[in-house]
Chain A
């Protein structure tokens, strides 16, 4: 296996539940155990009812492309994306059944010119190393 050069997420107390889920091929989104409001990225307090009883809730992992960008060049005044070969696409997926939750990802098995807003996608898991598996999405 060649060396993986892209950024690898650092896991902390707040985010561990999500990354643990991915390792087990389960997409988990943080949810308030009091009012069942979902939250992503995770935070310590539910912004709706102010409970701190946050839990990790498995979701189906289906959704649609909410928006996407095609990174063709390093942005003005910024650094290149480490490990990525330009051009590449970053997508924002709106997850079904998880109101208001969007997750950043990449599409697999999809050419750049075939990406469309609204296209249905489903999660797949890409193992990076023993600790980290990333959620990616494949067009349905």
Chain B
């Protein structure tokens, strides 16, 4: 994969307002984020010749995007599934398209509304994993209803094996809120203390409401991926894609939700398999990363990835997040936009946009002299990650 190192860059970023119960449809949100990204990049919209949709639902198809933008010459398109893990995977496909010459200017987007993500899955059952496979029938009769149940199960086991505490999870929620308070686009900006966190009710113990992503919320985000040469001629400071890597499944943790609750294990989440490929492609180590945008559908997801991407040893994620280490000014500022916990839940795509801002030096919680940014997708699920650099 080294031949793709630094070959492409993110030249434009766009997003919508992040809202709760806006009633807006995902298609118009997608078009708005894409046109904002086009304007940000300073390109002509007709220059787009590749489209990649990142999805878990049926919203906003690539044909309809092309038809509405009036794109005459789309030579590459695709879709990555597995909402949560695959935002960086969609960007990876765009890099492959540009590096191979299949396309020159690729827009990648995620549009997220609760209707598409939650109610859109109702015809299968109350949640996503209970599909026709019958696996859901081994869960729901026992009171399993939600994604959160998987993460709470893992959190409980992590606490048992490594002594991780609620206070450590709370430190993640507090850090996210501090960053969100600086970000006018964030949905949750009220100050949050560890005491407030403790007062937040358990939903699925050991996780609380404040351990969870903002849900439901509406919004979309998009990026423009093009060649490094072209990006240098455009309006913005390029965010070079130093490395990209992805993995569908691994021996123990296996694949998507249907099987996941039965097979989660330590220390192997998919991130632990992405990390070596990613850092090898980048010719970097975790110590070279200045700031990280780490997928945080729950506080626990962020904690386990700090371990899996090698910022600390397995089991030491809890200690790592203490004492402001992941806050602005700390050793490794994480989720400087506020993350899913406090900015918005756009399935990791807002993390990519924030990663680009850090490289450009335009974040509302800018890390001084930031040059390298890690951006990750969710686990446990098919996942991917990027290293962006100045």
Q: Do A and B come from one complex?
A: yes
Binding site for B on A (CB under 8 A): 6-12, 14-15, 18, 40-43, 47, 66-82, 84, 87-88, 90-92, 100-106, 117-118, 134
**Cβ contact within 8 Å between A104 and B142:** yes
* Residues in B whose Cβ lies below 8 Å from that of A87: 205
**How far does the Cβ of B138 sit from chain A's closest Cβ, in whole Å?**
5
A-B CB contact pairs (8 Å), 15 listed: A40-B262, A41-B135, A68-B153, A69-B153, A71-B143, A71-B203, A71-B204, A73-B203, A76-B212, A76-B215, A77-B114, A77-B118, A78-B145, A88-B143, A106-B142
Interface core residue of B142, B147, B216 (most chain A CB under 10 Å) = B142
B146 within 8 A of A: yes
**Cβ contact within 8 Å between A69 and B258:** no
Which residue of chain B has its CB nearest to the CB of A42?
B134
**Cβ contact within 8 Å between A92 and B262:** yes
Q: How far is the CA of A103 from the CA of B144 in the complex (A)?
A: 12
Binding site for A on B (CB under 8 A): 114, 118, 126-127, 133-135, 137-149, 152-154, 156-157, 160, 201-206, 209, 212-213, 215-216, 252, 254, 258-259, 261-263
Q: How far is the CA of A72 from the CA of B137 in the complex (A)?
A: 22
Which residue of chain A has its CB nearest to the CB of B140?
A7
* Residues in A whose Cβ lies below 8 Å from that of B209: 73, 76
* Residues in B whose Cβ lies below 8 Å from that of A102: 262-263
Q: How far is the CA of A131 from the CA of B156 in the complex (A)?
A: 34
**Cβ contact within 8 Å between A70 and B148:** no
Interface core residue of A8, A69, A92 (most chain B CB under 10 Å) = A69
* Residues in A whose Cβ lies below 8 Å from that of B216: 77
Task: Knowing A103-B262, A117-B156 are in contact, say whether A75-B141 is a contact too (CB < 8 A).
Answer: no
Ordered nearest first, which 10 A-B pairs have the shortest CB separation? Answer: A77-B215, A9-B137, A75-B146, A70-B205, A7-B140, A75-B148, A78-B146, A67-B157, A69-B152, A41-B135
